[in-house]
Structure 1
């Protein structure tokens, strides 16, 4: 399975914000429901906290949805 790179412009991103940025959910308000219905693994550990801070290099795996890795957006 291919790992999709998600680029951020800040030091970290909250898991709930990440779900929206990665186009997994349509709005931030859906994060709580999504996390209740799906297993989400951050660096191979299950985590359902929408406020969980994700840093560059962190990997997010969601079975049947995809695998993602956090990267810092390269400045032009």
Structure 2
């Protein structure tokens, strides 16, 4: 079984908080949804469970929620 492709999401500032990135990448509909995903332990960063909404992400980190994966990249 193959993994989902990784969606590159341009960011302006590096680092970016995980809660903000979940919304920006479309992995969460809004801030409360991001919190719910984290509290339900459904979010992984670089293959490790993450429950902190304020966790700092840097360009290249891979965030997975369910079958979707995304990573922040420096915008142009």
What TM-score does the superposition give when structure 1 sets the normalisation length? 0.83
* Aligned mate of 1:28, from 27, 31, 56: 31
Runs of 4+ in structure 1 displaced over 3 angstroms? none
State how far apart, in whole Å, the 2-side matches of 1:39 and 1:25 are. 11
Cα RMSD over matched residues?
1.4
Matches within 5 A, 1:4-43: 4-43=7-46
- 1:30 is paired with a residue whose SS is helix
* CA displacement at 1:29 relative to structure 2: 3.1
- 2:70 is paired with a residue whose SS is strand
- In the TM superposition, what whole-angstrom CA distance separates every residue of 1:40-67 from its partner, at most 9, and x where no partner exists? 1111111111000000011111223x01
Unpaired runs of at least 5, structure 1 = none
* CA displacement at 1:38 relative to structure 2: 4.5
* Aligned mate of 2:54, from 37, 51, 55: 51
Match of 2:70 in 1: 68
> Aligned pair count?
73
The answer to whether the Cα contact below 8 Å between 1:5 and 1:68 also exists between their aligned partners in 2 is: yes
